Structure 1
Amino acid sequence: MNLNATLIAQLVVFFILGWFTMKFVWPPLMKALDERAAKIAEGLAAADKAKTDLALAEKRAVEELRKAREEAATMRTNAEQQAAKLIEEARVEAAQIINRAQKAAEEEARASVQRVLEELREEVARLALVGAEQILRREIDAKAHAELIQRLKEELK
């Protein structure tokens, strides 16, 4: 066999093999590589998106925590103000109750003093009549007796 013919035959077989590879083998390989590259790109994009979402979620969480702390501080302040207001209202109400009790006690004491004074006047009048009766040694009729008691009461006031 001739070296040139062998070389030409090998060259023809090489080109046929190259054409066959380019036509039937290379496109599925490129398609698989492109799909793999697309999956990798999607994975990287998803990882970047997840990283961005995580940073955003952390920001939101920090903001929500700050808001919750502010609301708690506001609620605590409001509760303290309400407590102070309730305490002050209770103090005012207690002072009013004490004042009413003092006035009622004073009124009761005045009424009691009046009652005692009235009883004392009646007793003085009775004793004066008894004394006058003993001095005069005579019985005074009931009508005159009542009039004298009334007059003595008036004079004692």
Structure 2
Amino acid sequence: MNINATLWIQWIPFAILVLVTAKFIWPPIAKALDERAAKIADGLAAADKAKSELATANKRVDEQLAQTRTETTKLLGDAEKRAAALIEEAKRKAEEEGAKIIAAAKAEAEQQVVRAREALREQVAVLAVKGAEQILQKEVNAGVHADLLARLKTEL
């Protein structure tokens, strides 16, 4: 056999194999590769979309955090002002109550001083009468001399 004839005979099955592969085998493989490429492209697009949504969500979270911090700072300031006002009110009430207590104590002390003076006047009057009795060597009648004793009390 001739080598050229062998080559031509080998070309015929090869050509049939290429035609069968091109007609029946290659289209499903190409279709599967195209579908896979489309899935990868869709996945990459979804990843890009998710990344942009994540950035947007992070931006919203940062804005909400800033707003919350502002509100919290405002609330803390208001609470501190309210606490200071309550403290001032309590101090004012305590001072008023202290002034009332001091005034009541002064009034009570004044009453005790008046009572003590009255008691002292009574005792001095009794001592004066006893002294006068001893000087005069006779009894002085308190009922008869009530006017005199009253004047003596007021002088003391």
TM-score > 0.5, shorter chain as reference: yes
Give the corresponding residue for 1:98.
Answer: 98
Tell which deviates more after alignment, 129-138 or 72-81.
129-138
- Please give the residue correspondences for 1:3-152 in structure 2 after superposition, counting only pairs within 5 Å: 14=15, 16-17=16-17, 19-141=19-141, 143-144=143-144, 147=146, 151-152=150-151
Q: Tell me the C-alpha RMSD between the 2 structures.
A: 3.1
Letter in 2 for 1:106: K
C-alpha displacement of 1:56: 1.4
- TM-score normalised over the length of structure 2: 0.77
Separation in 2, partners of 1:84, 1:44:
59
Q: CA deviation at 1:17?
A: 4.5
1-side partners of 2:14 and 2:124: how far apart?
159
The one-letter code sitting in structure 2 at the alignment partner of 1:38 is A
Runs of 4+ in structure 1 deviating by more than 6 angstroms, as ranges, are none
Larger RCO, structure (CA 8 Å, separation 6 or more): 1
CA contact (8 A) 1:126 1:149 kept: no
How far residue 155 of structure 1 moved from its aligned partner, in angstroms, is: 4.1
Percentage of matched positions with identical amino acids: 47
**How many residues get paired?**
151
CA distance in 2, matches of 1:103, 1:114: 16
